[in-house]
Structure 1
Amino acid sequence: MTIGNQSTDASGLGATILIIEDEPAIATAIAQRLTSEGWRTEVARDGLSGVDAAARVRPDAVVLDVMLPGIDGLEVCRRIQADHPVPVLMLTARDDETDMLIGLGVGADDYMTKPFSMRELVARLKALLRRVDRAAQASQAPESEALITVGDVVIDRAQRRVHRAGEEIHLTPTEFELLIMLASSPKTVQTREHLLAEVWDWVDASGTRTVDSHIKALRRKLGSDLIRTVHGVGYAFEPPQ
């Protein structure tokens, strides 16, 4: 497959990962681990350098610390996504859902709290790259399969655009994939575990909070009346009649 500017195989080998982290020990450790996985790495130590590096390198994914000198990670994420949408995994020292929702709101796709496992970081990045690959395959689908219309919501898988009542809604890659999963089976309750497996490629239930946070982000952008919560189970896409 081809991700960003790089030619990679199905596991994402050869992808370029931009690491924007001001703590040298953490940045070096991440770069070494990702290099050992077969990825190219580029490191920036502050927010402005990170924005410049993203424009220059055109990475396939970004690992981005929230707390940075100069401009913070949230502003970095806004600028990167405005220039060239790319999967972003944010790192933070605070385990706060408000921070997570703000990060998702400015275009982050995933979120990890320090200290974190390098093994989990690699797994999350691989999942992000697989999502990009699925998106590329979907963009080549026949036109009859590319459009999903449910109520006043129209999802164009080929162009990766979403409209509600004629108004375009800008979603992150992960939000887009989550919406497709829900809208492809209207009124069908999908468990958090199933959504984790299909959208995030996670095989355990440790990330159910991530699902909940992305659902909140979708509701904030699309409206609170489209996705029904089934307490203790999961979610269903049910646009009003």
Structure 2
Amino acid sequence: MRKLLVADDDPNIRTLLRHVLTREGYQVIEVSDGREAIDKMKETTVDLAIVDVMMPHVDGLELCEYIRETYDIPIILLTALQQLSDKEQGYLKGTDDYVTKPFEPEELLFRITALFRRYSVASQDMIRLNRLMIDRKNYEITFGEETLLLPVKEFELLAQLAQYPGRLFSRSELIELVWGADYEGDERTVDVHIKRLRERFLDYQDDFMIRTVRGIGYKLEVITS
């Protein structure tokens, strides 16, 4: 079930969105200001954020900028402001879409569906493990503004497991997928590389873990709250 963050200081708007979104099968996380939103996103994985511009403590534009710098998720800004310059500020801060109040709930649902479709296409080369992003095209792993670079085979092994979280891969499958069918080395090569990955990502066990299934192989599990 996809989790949607609703950040709005108006309880009536939150109630409306909770009703509409849960009816469509989404799980809704409600917060009343940007500071609370940041704290919630550190605790649990969010798949899309719906953010009101005018909020206390940390406003919607600041929150939008924080989300764009830290996570790779779609963002929809809600606002009562209709000036083109206000919308420009929203897009400059990183929002994907803009909805002006008052709005039709059905229109918001259409926009959510479209954004998930767009991000699904883009995510073929991007894999998210909670706070970590794996960029398969550029062979990079990012954590916020930090970039982690791995040896090629370690990266390819991690990406292969991460692309199918929860799926069990045998050592022979991983050898063929990562090293190639003509690889003549020992299957224990997989064990060595898994050990190195575990050591490298020891500080990220709240995001994912690589499990050993005795006598068969490995699977990657994304940690959920």
| TM class by smaller structure | 0.5 to 0.7
Of residues 121, 127, 143, the one that matches 2:114 is 127
Name the counterpart of 2:14: 27
State the aligned residue count.
133
CA distance in 1, matches of 2:69, 2:96: 15
CA distance in 1, matches of 2:20, 2:84: 28
The structure 1 segments of at least 4 consecutive aligned residues displaced by more than 3 Å after TM superposition are: 156-161
Shift of 1:89: 0.1
Equivalent position amino acid for 1:99 in 2: D
Shift of 1:157: 8.7
CA distance in 2, matches of 1:137, 1:90: 25
CA distance in 2, matches of 1:42, 1:18: 5
Bigger CA radius of gyration = 2
User: What is the correspondence of 1:50-89 to structure 2 with a 5 Å cutoff?
Assistant: 50-89=37-76
Q: Is the 8 A contact 1:90 1:108 kept in 2?
A: yes
Determine helix, strand or coil for the equivalent of 2:115.
Answer: helix
TM-score of the pair, normalised by structure 2: 0.55
Shift of 1:83: 1.9
Name the counterpart of 1:158: 137
TM-score of the pair, normalised by structure 1: 0.52
Report % sequence identity. Answer: 36
Of residues 92, 102, 123, the one that matches 1:115 is 102
CA distance in 1, matches of 2:62, 2:139: 24
Of residues 92, 95, 114, the one that matches 2:79 is 92
Q: Is the 8 A contact 1:55 1:80 kept in 2?
A: no
Structure 2 unpaired stretches of 5+: 128-134, 141-225
Determine helix, strand or coil for the equivalent of 1:137.
Answer: coil
CA distance in 2, matches of 1:158, 1:30: 36
User: Could you say what the CA RMSD is over the residues aligned between the two structures, in angstroms?
Assistant: 2.1
Q: Aligned pair in 2 of structure 1 residues 21, 62: CA closer, same or farther (>3 Å)? A: same
Shift of 1:158: 3.2
Determine helix, strand or coil for the equivalent of 2:56.
Answer: coil
Shift of 1:57: 1.9
Shift of 1:159: 4.4
Q: Is the 8 A contact 1:139 1:159 kept in 2?
A: no
CA distance in 1, matches of 2:90, 2:64: 8
CA distance in 1, matches of 2:93, 2:99: 16
Structure 1 unpaired stretches of 5+: 1-13, 141-155, 162-241
